[in-house]
Every structure is written in C-alpha cells, then in structure tokens.
Structure 1
Amino acid sequence: MQPVYVAADNITSPLGATTAQNYAAVSQGRSGLQPLQLPCMETELPAGIILPEQLAAYTAGLTVQGLTKFEQLVIASINEALGQTSIRLSQPRTLLLLSTTKGNIDWLEQHAGQVPDAAALRGMQLYDTAATIGAYFQASSPPLVVSNACISGLLAILTAKRLMASGQYDQVVIAGADILTQFVVSGFSSFHALSSQVCRPFDVARNGLNLGEAAATLVLTNNPALQSPVSNIRIGGGGVSNDANHISGPSRTGAELALALQKAIDNTELSPKEIAFISAHGTATPYNDEMEAKAFGLAGIAHAPVFSLKGYYGHTLGAAGLLESIVSMHALLHNCLLATPGFETLGVSQPLDISNQSRYQPGMQHFIKTTSGFGGCNAAMVFSKF
C-alpha cells in the first residue's frame, strides 16, 4: 500500500492560530479553558472558547463576509495549513473532507422561535456547509463529510487514507471543527456530564468533561516530495468498531475499543510493544475513562504512557480526533510525553502510566490515538515518525 504523508497541519483554537502556537502552549502546560455561561446554564463552567476578537484576528486578511462563525473558523484553519505547502484544493485529484458533528447548529439559537426556510435548512445541512467552504477555495472535487459523533476527526483521517490507497485522490485536505452553542451545552448538561471544574481524566476525583471549540486541518499526500519538513509523520493503520451497548454509555468491558486498537496496530504491521504512547480520548467521565483503561490492557498496550488533552482544549467534538492527533504528532517529533492536567491519583481499575508533568522520552517512533463517541462508536489509528 502506498504510504500517506503529512504535508501540512494547523490548529485554530483558544490557544492560537497555528500548530506551533498550540503545541508550545500545551507543552508548557497552558490551558485554553476559561469560564463560560450561556442562558441555558445555571452557573459558569470551564470551556475552551474562541473569543470574538480572536476570531477577527484569525480571519484577518480573508474574504469571509456573509459566512458563519463555523465556516470562518474552518476557512482560517485550512488557509493557514495550505500556506505551508504547494497543495491547493483547486488541483485535480485533491479532496476536501470536512469532519464535524453539528456544523452551523448555532442558527437555532440565533433565530429562536423561527421556522427555518429552505435557505436556512440548506445552511444547516453539513454537505452544503462543506460545499460553501469548498467553493471559497475553488475546490476541483465535490467535498466529503464525515460526521460520526466524537470519532469524526479520527475517522476522517482513516477515510482519507483509504480513499488515497484506492487511487481516487493524491491529496486530501481534512478539516475538522465544531463550535460551542446552547444546543450542544444543554445536550451534555442533560446527561449530567459536565464538570464544574477543569476536567481530570483518569483521576479518582474526575466528575465530568469540559467542552471546547476549535478547528484543525491536516493535509495528506502520497507524494514524499511534498512531505512537510516540520511534520515528518507517516499515517499508519486504523481500526473502527462499535459497542452496540447503549446510545450514550460506552462498553463496560472495553473489548470493542480493544478490537479497533488491535486492528490499527496489525494494519501498521507493528507489535503492541512498539507503541511508544497512547493519546487517549480521555473525557474524564467515569465510564469512558474506565472503558479505555480496560481496552488498553486487552489490546496489550497498557505498558505505554497515556495522556489526555481535554484539560487544554475541552472536548471539541468533531475536531477532537483531528486536533489531538496533530498535537500528538508534534509530541512524537519532539520526543515528549505530554502532561495530563489535573491528574493526581489513578481512578480506573487497570494500571496506567499517566503524569501531570510533561517529560522527555527519546527514541519514540509510533503512537496510537483513540476516540469514542455516542452510539458506541470507537476509532484508533497509529502514527509514525518517518
């Protein structure tokens, strides 16, 4: 199978408008979480919020009139990533792949009580949103949307690799994003899943997640000459599974995520002991963290250090798998095991190597990223230093 390389990447978040800014903040232990209160909330909760002045700075110089906040964020992220490479969406055999769970869902609160007309409905449909973004960049091919709960970002990378392996495309520009809205916050609140404090993944005192908003872009190519000089990463194998357990609660055994992990490792032709670290989904909810810990043991990778990035960004939904993969790629390149903010005492039934301090670990070659989502979906993917 022809290798797939990283040509460029971007993260646009509360921590900055470039991957370099984001990685510097995370490696220094700085969080983008700040107090958020919406009309649907009784109290302030920590969240990763992109402020209006940040959005204005991120889109400076772009022609973004008439576009929504979601579309502006995605365009800003794609534009910055494409500025690092000669690849353009207007080139033949180049695909735009959009990863999101909700897209322009904020229309609902901006027009509360109104019945959406045909134009509004088109604006809320994910494919039409992707087409709007593609038109901005004069994309040569119709876009593709991946929307599968919180595994969307990682599933988009796996989908892109498969499309390239099949010979349909030479380059894929993957953009993932979601924004914070009353709709999203009230939904998680109804599950009693939100924490009033900065989340504490895998800790005995964890009591829920934080939400966040961000956009991230990953440009993939099958041409080694176009590989990024600063992101020397090859995309490995992936795996997907489903718990078939509950609409919102994960598996109690971890066997299904373990299957996705084993597929990803096998498809990369590695042994479990070659995994240097695990970039976990790590939502800090009681059931997710326990399920992941069990899955790591079942997949034979519990020896590998584990970290979660949710304390830096919150849970960014459709962007999470993509954003967290990019941060983890740069951690691999820097031989850095990142800290999990808020972690103090292990609170899962399986032994895991987790630290609240970043540390240098030379010689790392491969890591694996996990994500899980509502409906019982799971995805895992290996990334390798090349």
Structure 2
Amino acid sequence: MERVLVTGMGAISAIGNNVRENHESLRNGRSGVGKAAFFESLYASQLPFGEVKMSNKELKAAQGLESAAGYTRTCLLADMAFTEAVADAGLTPGQLSSLDTALISASTVGGMCLTDQLYEDANHKSGGSEYLEAYGCAAHTLKLIKRHHIRGFTDTINTACSSSANAIMLGARLIRSGRVKRAIVGGVDSLAKYTVNGFNALKILSGAPCRPFDTDRDGLNLGEGAAYLVLEAGELAAGRKVYAEVAGFGNANDAHHPSAMSDEATGAIRCMREAIGSAGINASQIGYINAHGTGTQNNDQVEFYGMGELFGRIPPYSSTKAFTGHTLGAAGAVEAIYSILSIVHSELFPNLNVDKPIGGPGSAPVTERQDGRDLRYALSNSFGFGGNCTSLVFAGVN
C-alpha cells in the first residue's frame, strides 16, 4: 500500500496569513479572536470573531487578482492558502495539470458569504451581479481549477465541520489505492451572515473568547480561514522535504441529532478507533490529540467522554479554536497543519482560556506551550453537524 506523505502546506487564519505566522502565534499563545474589522453584520460589534486580518482588497492584491471578477472572500482565502501550499511543495505547472494530480476541497458556506448580494440576485432586486456563478459550495474549487489549469480528479465536500478532514481522508485514500499520485486537499470558509445568524439561532455563540473544555464554557466563536496540504505518494517524495505521513483516518456518523452528538460519543469513539486502527498502531502510541473542542456544552463533554472511553488515560490534548475561532469547513485542514507542526517542532500548543477543566486537574488539556516533546503520532479530530465525525492520524517521518 502506497505511503501518503505531506510535502506542502498553506494556511491563512485569524492568527496568520501563512503557515509561519500561524506557527508563531501558536507558540506565543496569541489569539486572533476579537472584534471584526471587515465583516458587516449586526453582530460584528456584539460578538468576537476569528477574522482574517486582511480586507478583500488586500487579498486580491496579494494574489494578483485585482481585475478578476466573481471572487468572493471564500474564493480569495482559498487561493491564498492553495498558492502557498503548492509553492511550499515546489509543484510545477505541469504537475498541477497532470491527470495524476487530484484537487479535493471543502466548504460549508461557499459563496453564500455574500448573503445580502445573494438575496438581491436571487430575488431579481439587482441587474445581475458579477457573483451569479459564485454562490455555490464548489465555486472556490472551480476558480482554483481554472486558474491553475487542474485537469485531474476534483471534488468539493460539505459535511459541516468535518468537511476538510474528509477532503484529506479522500485524498489519502485515492493515493493509497493508486488512483492518483498526488492530491491537494483542504478547505475554506469565510465569515457570513448566513452562518452567524444560524449559529446564533442555535444559541451556541459566546459573547466572550471561547473556553474549550472549561466547566464554564458557554459557546463557540466563529472564525474564517483556509488551509491546504499537498499529499504525495511515497515514490514521488524521495529526496524532498516531507513534513509528515497521513498514517490513518476514520469516519463515522452517529446520526443522533442535526446539530449535536450523542451522549455516548458513538461516532466520535468509532472514528478515533478506526483512524488508529488504519494507522496500524495502538491507542497508547498517540502522543497528542488536537481536539475538535468548540467550547459548546455538548461537543466538549461528548469529546472528552469519548477520549476517556477509548484511551482510558487521555494523552496530552488541546483545542486550538480559541486561537482561530471555529473555521467550519476549513477547521479540519487548519488543525491538521497545527497537528503536523506539533510533530515537526516537538511541541504542544496550549488550550487557551481554561480555568476549571471539565475533567478536573488530572485530565486537563494542555494549557501552556510544551517544548521538547518527542511526538511520533498525533490525532486530529473534526466532528460535524449531524454526527459526521472524522479523525486523522499523522506520523513523524524522521
């Protein structure tokens, strides 16, 4: 079976416009959650968000897209992270266009980040804007395909908060099975009235920076961002920079509730167990868990319970969503990169804002950066609405 290696990474989030800046913020405990500067909404002045610190104009300029039409913020964020990942892997235009190269992206809001413009266009209140073809979930993927001349297998996944984790899983499966030699995988989401109003209706948005795995947690902060990883078959990576191996993956769905997981953590336990099993290791070999950890009552309690049931003594774990906010369809890929950074740099990033851990001091998340950790395997969890749960196992290659 072909090994699946990570040879390139790109990311943009509330804590950095590239992977290096994201890493520096994680190391320094610097959160990007706060007052939104570009997101136009009634709630922009009332709630904290994990907003990318670039305007649409700045994003266009950074990517040389000033004259390009139909690029929503979702498309711009995707292009930024995608371009970094491809450059980091040193891929040529010919490799991007090869039929052996797949592109699998993910998003939940897609072009509906332009909620007001969508309403105007859909109800014939406008003369037809430049975004008529940009509202779909896959619009950003189509932009990437056209701009970078991608001709191989492409797909766009929307399984809520596990979307980009599933994109990584699908890319790894395609490589393992020999269907492609290379896959660029990840996801993107931008802040939108559509999602903010929806999450507010569920009454799970916090009015303060979120507190994952804290007894007094009262909800999540929405964020935005994009992240992509270049996955390549082992035979292509000889003599090249390799960050980590996608060693295992698992997906399960407990189908318990449209917006909550079962108290028994059925899907969470099964996907973690399958990911560890497909990596060919024992649960005791996991050295770190990048938890989904949204800061909501249901998610954190269920995930904590599931980890305890599977591992007994839970390995060091933390949620990084207090840094970035919940980036929805981008979260799986963003946090996959953070998990890989933990392995590469032998460090654990802190779970911010925890005063009273839900499991007590003996099973608290990591609350301060830890250096010098010899990490061989890290587990990254992404749990979505409807109980769609995905776990990924990354392995060091040194």
Please state which band the TM-score falls in when normalised by the shorter chain. over 0.9
The separation in 2 between residues aligned to 1:208 and 1:351, in whole angstroms, is 24
Name the counterpart of 1:86.
90
Deviation at 1:355, TM superposition (A): 2.7
Name the counterpart of 2:51.
49
Question: Relative to structure 1, is the Cα distance of residues 133 and 348 closer, same or farther in structure 2, using a 3 angstrom cutoff?
Answer: same
The separation in 1 between residues aligned to 2:382 and 2:226, in whole angstroms, is 17
1:187-217 CA distance string (max 9 Å, x none): 0000110111110100011100001010111
Contact 1:96 1:174 in 2 (8 A): yes
Deviation at 1:171, TM superposition (A): 0.5
Equivalent in 74, 77, 95 of residue 73 of structure 1: 77
Name the counterpart of 1:104.
111
Higher mean Cα deviation, 146-155 or 90-99?
90-99
The separation in 1 between residues aligned to 2:216 and 2:240, in whole angstroms, is 42
Name the counterpart of 1:22.
22
The within-5 A match list for 1:1-386 is 1-36=1-36, 38-41=40-43, 43-53=45-55, 56=58, 59-63=61-65, 65-66=68-69, 67-87=71-91, 88-115=95-122, 122-226=133-237, 231-300=242-311, 302-348=313-359, 352-386=363-397
Deviation at 1:140, TM superposition (A): 1.8
Aligned to 2:98, the other structure's residue is in SS state coil
1:298-327 CA distance string (max 9 Å, x none): 212643011000110000000001001101
Instruction: Please tell me the residue identity of whatever aligns with 1:357.
Output: E
Aligned to 2:110, the other structure's residue is in SS state coil
Question: Relative to structure 1, is the Cα distance of residues 97 and 30 closer, same or farther in structure 2, using a 3 angstrom cutoff?
Answer: same
Question: Relative to structure 1, is the Cα distance of residues 32 and 54 closer, same or farther in structure 2, using a 3 angstrom cutoff?
Answer: farther
Question: Relative to structure 1, is the Cα distance of residues 141 and 334 closer, same or farther in structure 2, using a 3 angstrom cutoff?
Answer: same
Deviation at 1:78, TM superposition (A): 1.0
Contact 1:95 1:143 in 2 (8 A): yes
The separation in 2 between residues aligned to 1:246 and 1:110, in whole angstroms, is 32
The separation in 2 between residues aligned to 1:23 and 1:329, in whole angstroms, is 11
Deviation at 1:244, TM superposition (A): 1.7
Question: Relative to structure 1, is the Cα distance of residues 53 and 149 closer, same or farther in structure 2, using a 3 angstrom cutoff?
Answer: closer
Question: Relative to structure 1, is the Cα distance of residues 183 and 380 closer, same or farther in structure 2, using a 3 angstrom cutoff?
Answer: same
1:136-190 CA distance string (max 9 Å, x none): 0011225211110100111111111111122211111113100001111000000
Question: Relative to structure 1, is the Cα distance of residues 251 and 122 closer, same or farther in structure 2, using a 3 angstrom cutoff?
Answer: same
Contact 1:306 1:354 in 2 (8 A): yes
Deviation at 1:125, TM superposition (A): 2.1
Paired-residue identity, %: 27
Instruction: Please tell me the residue identity of whatever aligns with 1:205.
Output: D
Deviation at 1:224, TM superposition (A): 4.8
The separation in 1 between residues aligned to 2:191 and 2:206, in whole angstroms, is 16
Unaligned runs of 5+ in 2: none
Unaligned runs of 5+ in 1: none
Instruction: Please tell me the residue identity of whatever aligns with 2:178.
Output: G
The separation in 2 between residues aligned to 1:189 and 1:94, in whole angstroms, is 40
The separation in 1 between residues aligned to 2:394 and 2:236, in whole angstroms, is 19
Contact 2:217 2:295 in 1 (8 A): yes
The separation in 1 between residues aligned to 2:366 and 2:135, in whole angstroms, is 41
The separation in 2 between residues aligned to 1:350 and 1:122, in whole angstroms, is 52
Contact 2:59 2:76 in 1 (8 A): no
Higher mean Cα deviation, 218-227 or 207-216?
218-227
Deviation at 1:90, TM superposition (A): 1.4
Question: Relative to structure 1, is the Cα distance of residues 314 and 61 closer, same or farther in structure 2, using a 3 angstrom cutoff?
Answer: closer
Question: Relative to structure 1, is the Cα distance of residues 221 and 301 closer, same or farther in structure 2, using a 3 angstrom cutoff?
Answer: farther
Contact 1:99 1:145 in 2 (8 A): yes
Aligned to 1:141, the other structure's residue is in SS state coil
Deviation at 1:15, TM superposition (A): 2.1
The separation in 2 between residues aligned to 1:276 and 1:260, in whole angstroms, is 17
